[in-house]
């Protein structure tokens, strides 16, 4: 049995779901994978808490749900912030699921670099650090020998990155198309049935799937973030956010959706990476697609991707993901698979 | 650069496609994976040929396409049969893609056991050996330390087994549903447009995707084979073919298809594994599903699967596979990933 000590940066819906999984799957993880996973530190916006013996997760979840920050949790030692926690030596893996911050990536970037510089493993659900510094973080991970896994950053539980990196061996990919943001997809699906935009957005936020800043979802930037990660990780293109042409769904009207429907089409927010000679064209924009097509059939809370390749022909994947658990499960998958 | 010597058992459409990939992807495999792959032996029904310096694949493919068995190829040493080739010491990986033989699994089973007993790696596209002796082969591989990979056995290039084994970590799977046989799916899709059964079957055979014995496809046994492999590899159920209730498409009429279509449905040959308490119910049968559903949308040459899980919710995957190349590519993927 290997004991692995985790610290969690961010304690919102994804890491709360992960804490719940660590409680309910503890016996399974021990039995099937020989892994005893302990959370020895957690940080949220208000501070951090650590306990080298392992934090009691049930009690910590109850404390957080009662509206308290983690730093006031009595069964541990309070620390001022996430960075201080990440610089401590007493853990094996840092898990990052703090809110997406595209301005400077903080506090995630500092925390991840602190972990990698100590040779520790890092598992990400937060896309911003990869979007801002994909190459730098990977170089640091290679130099210091710590694994860096991020299968949870694209389509939550759907193993888009893993299939792209591990299964499409020796293939030339011509095109990647995908619907990567379930909030905007859900909003479009509801608007297509006549529901007002604000109601659909409010429901998405209630379910804990919308980003805190809904502009990330509806203006297409969350989708573009995922496209940048796929470009770097699967297509081996050193793309940045400014390389993506982005148009969101904010100007789509119920009339547009009704007009599309009359033609047997549905408007979806679609990310596309298309190879043109030695270059890739990256874009995110609302497109009308046949309702009977694969992308047209990615409805409501679903997300999906199409890899158009030479030797594997066309591979389609989608997930129906109605809460943060599948993203947390993808982080747990990475924790098991990195094998530190 | 690691040199790896391969022997190929069977030299039908899949291994001919693989030989073509080894020629066209040689530089890519060397550059991206540091692998120099050489084919040092090939067996077909008429005998075998070996050459420790590596067989010239272009010339061997031309020889085979001209209607000659491999054992008469001049640039090598003839051997009497596949088993003799598999017992030779001078290779690293045995690749098996001979015709499915559910009677006794030969010559595949003897060849695979000979390779595993020597501690060599095995990569399978042939389902029969796993269906007949999944546990025995895996035990032998564990004992002797050689890898045993078979991602090509289920849905060709679609990484169903890999996603099930590597990505659905710590999940409870409630149900697996799938369309695993593109020949019968193609026949049903053509029959739904009014084409006679025999014409659709002949076209499938012309494209090299139908099993040599079409009863494997249309009577559901190929689908059942794949379900047995998924049950063992992903669900950890020691299932055998006799545990699967199998009904084929041979009694489906154009009238049945027209009747379904009038209700917005399509008849597909669907494999299902359903957990019922601690047991699994395994069955293959034609079922009418809504045309707009994921399974209903798996049309023509497509194959696909749905994993219904707890923590990853529902994951859907499908592939559009019109020839043997994607299955050969899946074998190549396994050769690279087993890392011997």
Cβ–Cβ gap B170/A297 under 8 Å: no
DSSP structure string for A182-220: HHHHHHHHHHHTT--HHHHHHHHHHTT-S-SSTHHHHTS
Q: For A288-323, how does the pLDDT look when each residue is reduced to its tens digit (9 = 90+)?
A: 999 989 999 999 889 999 999 999 999 999 999 888
Residue B340 has pLDDT above 80, yes or no: no
In the predicted model, what is the mean pLDDT of residues A94-102? 95
Instruction: Please give the distance of CA A29 from its chain centroid, rounded to a whole number.
Output: 22
pLDDT the model gives residue A45: 96
pLDDT at B206: 81
**What is the band of B34 on the pLDDT scale with cuts at 50, 70, 90?**
very high
> How far is the C-alpha of A329 from the C-alpha of A333, rounded, in Å?
6
| CA distances, B89 to each of A219, A253, B10, B50, B334 (Å) | 61, 69, 19, 12, 21
Q: Count of alpha carbons within 13 Å of A249, Cβ hemisphere only?
A: 35
d(CA A334, CA A146) in angstroms, rounded, equals: 13
Beta strands in chain B (DSSP E): 2-9, 35-44, 47-50, 77-79, 93-96, 121-124, 148-149, 173-179, 244-246, 265-276, 279-290, 302-309, 314-320
> Which one, of A39, A36, A54, lies nearest residue A9 by Cα?
A39
DSSP A13-35: HHHHHHHHHHHHTHHHHHHHH-E
In chain B, what are the helix, strand and coil shares in percent, each to the nearest 5? 40, 25, 35
Average pLDDT, chain B: 95
3-class DSSP assignment, residue A42: strand
Q: What is the pTM of this model?
A: 0.95
- Establish how many alpha carbons lie within 13 A of residue B83's alpha carbon, considering only the half-sphere containing its beta carbon: 6
Q: Are A248 and A218 in contact (CB under 8 A)?
A: yes
**Contact between chains at A170 and B336 (C-beta distance less than 8 A):** yes
Per-residue confidence band for B77, with pLDDT thresholds at 50, 70 and 90: very high
Q: What is the pLDDT of residue B208?
A: 66
Is residue A12 within 8 A of residue A97, CB to CB? The reply is: yes
Question: Which residues is A275 bridged to in the sheet?
Answer: A280
**Residues A51-94: tens digit of each pLDDT:** 999 999 999 999 999 999 999 999 999 999 999 999 998 999 99
Q: Write out chain B residues lying below 8 Å of A320, CB-based.
A: 313-314, 316
A317, A206 Cβ separation under 8 angstroms: no
- Sheet with A148-149: strands ordered across: A77-79, A47-50, A35-44, A2-9, A93-96, A121-124, A148-149
Beta strands in A93-172 (DSSP E): 93-96, 121-124, 148-149
- Answer yes or no: do B333 and A169 touch at CB < 8 A: yes
Instruction: Concatenate the DSSP letters of all residues of B25-82 into one string.
Output: THHHHHHHH-EEEEEEEEEETTEEEE-TT---HHHHHHHHHTT--GGG-SSSEEES-H
| Percent of chain A residues past pLDDT 70, beyond the cut | 99
Cβ–Cβ under 8 Å, residues B238 and B232 = yes
Of the candidates B159, B292, B321, which has its C-beta nearest A297's C-beta? B292
pLDDT at position A211: 66
B290: nearest CA in chain A?
A292
Chain mean pLDDT for chain A: 95
Domains annotated on chain A, with CATH: 2-156+325-338 (3.40.50.720), 160-320 (3.30.360.10)
Instruction: Quote the tokens at residue B201.
Output: 């079957």
Cα distances from A7 to residues A92, A206, A207, B85, in angstroms, run 8, 27, 25, 54
By Cβ distance, the residue of A33, A318, A329 closest to B316 is A318
pLDDT at A189 over 70: yes
Asked whether the bond before B30 is cis by omega within 30 degrees of 0, the reply is no
ipTM over the 0.85 cut-off = yes
Question: Does a cis peptide bond (omega within 30 degrees of 0) precede residue B87?
Answer: no
Instruction: Look at residue A3 in the predicted model and tell me its pLDDT.
Output: 96
CA dist B85 and B94 (Å) reads: 10
* CB-based burial, B42-70: b 16+ in 10 Å, e otherwise: bbbeebbbbbeebbbbeebeebbeeeebb
Report the SS3 class of residue A309: strand
Q: Which residues contact A276 (CB under 8 A, 6 or more apart)?
A: none
Closest Cα in chain A to B338: A166
CA angle, A275 then A276 then A280, to 5°: 50
User: How many C-alpha atoms does B277 have within 13 Å on its Cβ side?
Assistant: 1
Identify the closest residue of chain B to A292 by CA–CA distance: B292
Per-residue pLDDT tens for A113-147?
999 999 999 999 999 999 999 999 999 999 999 99
Record: contact A33-B319, CB cut-off 8 A = no
* Cβ contacts of B315 on chain A, cutoff 8 Å: 157-158, 317-319
The CA-CA-CA angle for residues B304, B307, B312, to 5°, reads 135
Catalytic residues of B: 226
Instruction: Count the Cβ atoms, other than its own, within 10 Å of residue B276.
Output: 8
User: Picking from A36-40, A205-209, B322-326, which range would have the lowest pLDDT averaged per residue?
Assistant: A205-209
With contact defined as beta carbons under 8 Å apart, do B319 and B302 qualify? yes
Quote the CA–CA distance of A168 and A149 in Å, as a whole number.
18
How far apart are the C-alpha atoms of A286 and A271, rounded to whole Å? 9
Cα of B103 to nearest chain A Cα, Å: 31
Task: Note whether A223 and A295 are within 8 A (CB).
Answer: no
Judged by CB atoms closer than 8 Å, whether chains meet at B170 and A311 is answered as no
Of A32, A315, A329, the CB nearest to B158: A315
The 3-state DSSP class for residue B314 equals strand
Other Cβ atoms less than 10 A from the Cβ of A230: the count is 27
Q: Which of A158, A166, A337 is nearest residue B169 as measured by Cβ atoms?
A: A337
Q: Please count the other Cβ atoms lying within 10 Å of the Cβ belonging to residue B292.
A: 15
Mean pLDDT of B275-302: 95
A209 has pLDDT over 70: no
Which residue among A226, A263, A285, A318 is the active-site one? A226
- Alpha carbons B231 and B238: distance in angstroms, whole number: 7
Tokens 């009863």: give the residue.
B215
Q: Which residues contact A183 (CB under 8 A, 6 or more apart)?
A: A201, A204, A209, A210, A211, A214, A217, A218, A222
Q: Per residue, what are the HEC states of B142-171?
A: HHHCCCEECHHHCCCCCCHHHHHHHHCCCC
Q: Å from A78 to nearest chain B CA?
A: 32
Q: Which residues contact B319 (CB under 8 A, 6 or more apart)?
A: A312, A313, A314, A315, A316, B155, B156, B157, B158, B302, B303, B304, B326
């Amino acid at each position: 049995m290997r004991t692995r000590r985790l610290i969690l940066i961010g304690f919102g819906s994804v890491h709360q779901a992960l804490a719940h999984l660590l409680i309910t799957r503890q016996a399974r993880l021990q039995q099937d994978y020989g892994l005893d996973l302990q959370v020895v530190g957690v940080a949220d916006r208000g501070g951090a808490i650590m306990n080298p013996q392992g934090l009691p997760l049930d009690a910590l979840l109850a404390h957080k749900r009662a509206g308290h920050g983690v730093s006031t949790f009595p069964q541990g030692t309070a620390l001022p912030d996430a960075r201080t926690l990440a610089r401590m030596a007493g853990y094996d893996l840092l898990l990052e699921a703090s809110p997406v911050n595209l301005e400077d990536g903080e506090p995630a970037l500092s925390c991840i670099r602190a972990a990698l510089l100590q040779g520790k493993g890092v598992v990400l659900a937060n896309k911003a650090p990869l979007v801002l510094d994909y190459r730098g973080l990977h170089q640091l991970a290679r130099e210091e020998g710590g694994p860096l896994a991020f299968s949870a950053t694209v389509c939550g539980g759907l193993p888009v990155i893993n299939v792209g990196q591990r299964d499409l061996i020796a293939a030339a990919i011509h095109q990647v198309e995908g619907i990567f943001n379930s909030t905007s997809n859900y909003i479009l699906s509801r608007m297509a049935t006549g529901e007002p935009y604000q109601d659909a957005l409010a429901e998405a936020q209630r379910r804990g799937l919308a980003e805190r800043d809904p502009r990330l979802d509806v203006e297409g930037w969350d989708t573009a973030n995922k496209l940048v990660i796929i470009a770097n990780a699967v297509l081996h293109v050193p793309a940045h956010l400014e390389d993506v042409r982005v148009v969101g769904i904010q100007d789509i009207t119920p009339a547009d959706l009704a007009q599309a429907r009359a033609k047997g089409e549905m408007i979806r927010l679609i990310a596309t990476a298309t190879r043109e000679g030695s270059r890739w064209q990256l874009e995110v924009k609302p497109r009308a697609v046949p309702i009977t097509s694969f992308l047209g059939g990615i409805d409501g809370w679903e997300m999906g991707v199409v890899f158009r390749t030479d030797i594997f022909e066309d591979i389609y994947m989608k997930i129906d993901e109605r809460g943060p658990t599948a993203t947390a499960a993808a982080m747990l998958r990475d924790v098991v698979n990195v094998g530190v």
